[in-house]
Amino acid sequence: MTLSNTPFNPLDRPAINPLFLFRWEEQEQAYLLLYPEGIIKLNDSAGNILNLCDGERTMESIIAELKVLFGADDIDGDIYNFMEVARGKGWIKAED
């Protein structure tokens, strides 16, 4: 992957890697990531986070929305960690 290694910052706008297809699958009642060699069924929180990675929203606003959605306040660290893992797996990239 040619993705940069600098950590995400609050103004980055994470977006799904265009090689992947991210969508809700009614039959699985889950968000899926489809890519050339496979299919990943995401758990609830991962699916809800990726659903906001549209290349428009900044990290700041994603975290603000998730706080409401998850009804939790102390999640900044977890979200940043998740984003790094997701980027490491090539699911998302940062646009600025």
Give the interface with another protein as residue ranges (CB under 8 A): 1, 19, 21, 23, 25, 27-28, 32, 34-41
Is 4 or 9 the residue whose CB approaches another protein more closely?
A: 4
- How near is the Cβ of 32 to another protein at its closest, in Å? 7
Is 37 or 96 the residue whose CB approaches another protein more closely?
A: 37
- How near is the Cβ of 94 to another protein at its closest, in Å? 19
Is 47 or 76 the residue whose CB approaches another protein more closely?
A: 47
- How near is the Cβ of 19 to another protein at its closest, in Å? 6
Q: Can you tell me whether residue 20 is helix, strand or coil?
A: coil
Q: Are 8 and 82 in contact (CB under 8 A)?
A: no
Say which residues have a Cβ less than 8 Å from residue 8's Cβ, sequence separation at least 6.
14, 59, 80, 83, 84, 87, 94
**Of 52, 42, 40, 45, residue with least CA distance to 15:** 52
